[in-house]
Amino acid sequence: MPKPESIRLVGPMRGRIQTAALRQRSPLRVTSALCALLLSPCLSGCILGTERPDLNLEVPVAYRAGPKSEAAADKAPPAIDWWRGFRSNELSSLMDAAQTNNLDIAVAVAQIIQADAQVGVSGAALLPTISGSASAEREHGGGGSSGTSSSGLGTTASGSSSTVSIFSTGLTASYMLDFWGKNRATLAASEETATASRYNRDVVTLTTLATVANTYFEVLAAQDQLAVTKRDLAAAERILKVIKAQFSGGTASQLDLSQQEALVATQKAAIPPLEVTVGQDTAALALLVGRAAANFNLRGGSLSRIAVPRVTPGLPSQLLYQRPDIRQAEATLASSNFSVESARAAFFPQIQLTGTTGFQSAALASLFTPGAWFYTLTASLTQPIFDGFLLESELKQAKGVQLQNLQTYRKTVLSAFSDVEKALIALQKFTLQEKLQNDVVTASRKAFDVAEKQYGGGTVNLITVLQTEQTLFTAENNLVTVRLNKMLAASSLFQALGGGWTPQGTLATASVE
């Protein structure tokens, strides 16, 4: 069978070529014709183009910030339920609730149902259409001769009027022979789109889970900062009490008292914004798990109690099979490839087969007699000659979409590699920074405790106390920020790796029940 690109159209072929419109009486011949019509899908789709764009992907051998050896890179792949590695029961329950009740995931599932239905719509063109009909007509009109009658078509005449009755029933089968593969390519495009919708569901699910984790960590960070601020406020009030006593005794100035009062007021003013963060992030979590914010409660806790799961990124080539957005872009590109084939096949002739059989009689009692039986077989061929460059424009449009999807796929792959690199760097550096910042907090707290005791004993001045106090407050808040950044980097790494990895190395794309 020649390919579409090798066929040259010669001469005008516009219009319909009626090859048969005959009325026959042989049941064997009509049965054979109808069977051939019903079996015609097996003869269609002989030609499908094989044009595929060059992907030209640049896949690195290893991540710059990851393990250098292949064995080390594959030692600890992401677990399916990766969020349990943070060792927070509350976070795990939030993740489970989000997978069940999140409305964005529900919308993505509904889109799968639509895509599956579109596959059925596209596949219908590959099958014959069969329809039945029945009619009864009775017509009364003038113009007949007085006193005459005719029984051939059930006509009776009385004076100048006549009445005609016609009863018929029939069965019609029609099929568009997909000789050039147009309908089959359209079906394949719809199937790839349905596949892409499943990966889109995975993308939405992974994004939702990462958002739940990040929002939960932000709540814990705000609660940690609240605890730090309240602890620092208590320390500032202790010193303020000492200064007031000294001021009453005449050993402290009004400036000393005002400076400490300003520091206490600053600590108090820092509390409401943190409470706003906790309240708003809690409301955001309620939406993510499909709950009303007014009925949703969060216990929270501290980032210091959250563990960071150990995970290695694997090889960059494995990411092509793990990231759902890459698989979605790949399926979308495949769909556009088939759309190009369908648009190209539209340039070639369309062959329509139609068969009709039934009974027609002027009398209802003789409707199903052998003499009332008829059938019609029709084959038609339609070739577009000039359509205002419609088909050519549609082909160009399909190729443009194909090119767009190709570039989107390339960008998605490169972005995936970049996301993993950035997450690895962030996790490594923030882990190191947390250790160093812990040392800063330890030293700052020790310095403040010593300064506070010496100030009470009168061996250091207030300026030294204020400096050590502010250094401690800043160090503790910075430590909370660094811990939050480390947790966000960990969740970003799991998201960049495509979530949990199945043992088979592919994402689960089960169909919707």
Q: How many CB atoms are closer than 10 A to CB 59? A: 12
Q: Where in the chain is the domain with CATH 1.20.1600.10?
A: 65-126+178-302+315-348+388-513
Kindly report the pTM of this predicted structure: 0.80
Q: Residue 42's pLDDT is what?
A: 45
Q: How many residues does the chain have?
A: 513
Residue 74 has pLDDT above 80, yes or no: no
Residue 20 has pLDDT above 80, yes or no: no
CB-side neighbour CA atoms (13 Å) of 7: 14
* CATH number at 65-126+178-302+315-348+388-513: 1.20.1600.10
Note whether 118 and 193 are within 8 A (CB).
Answer: yes
For the chain, how far is it from start to end, CA to CA, in angstroms? Answer: 40
Residue 93 has pLDDT above 70, yes or no: yes
Residue 267 has pLDDT above 80, yes or no: yes
Per-residue pLDDT tens digits for 330-360: 999 999 999 999 999 999 998 899 999 888 8
Q: Which residue has the higher pLDDT, 190 or 36?
A: 190
Helix (H, G, I), strand (E, B) or coil at 147: coil
Q: Residue 160's pLDDT is what?
A: 59
- Distance of alpha carbon 236 from alpha carbon 210, whole angstroms: 38
| pLDDT (average), residues 195-221 | 97
Q: Name the percent of the chain in helix, strand, coil, to the closest 5.
A: 60, 10, 30
- Distance of alpha carbon 333 from alpha carbon 81, whole angstroms: 30
Provide the percentage of residues in the chain whose pLDDT is more than 90. 57
Q: Which residue, 449, 446, 440, 448, is CA-closest to 476?
A: 440
Q: Residue 159's pLDDT is what?
A: 54
Three-state SS for 358-373 is: EEEECCHHHCCCHHHE
Per-residue pLDDT tens digits for 445-503: 999 999 988 887 878 888 888 899 889 999 999 999 999 999 999 999 999 999 988 75
Mean pLDDT of all residues in the chain? Answer: 83
Q: Residue 193's pLDDT is what?
A: 96
Q: Which residue, 162, 109, 137, 123, is CA-closest to 41?
A: 123
Cβ-in-10-Å burial (0-12, 13-18, 19+) of 55 comes to exposed
Provide the percentage of residues in the chain whose pLDDT is more than 70. 82
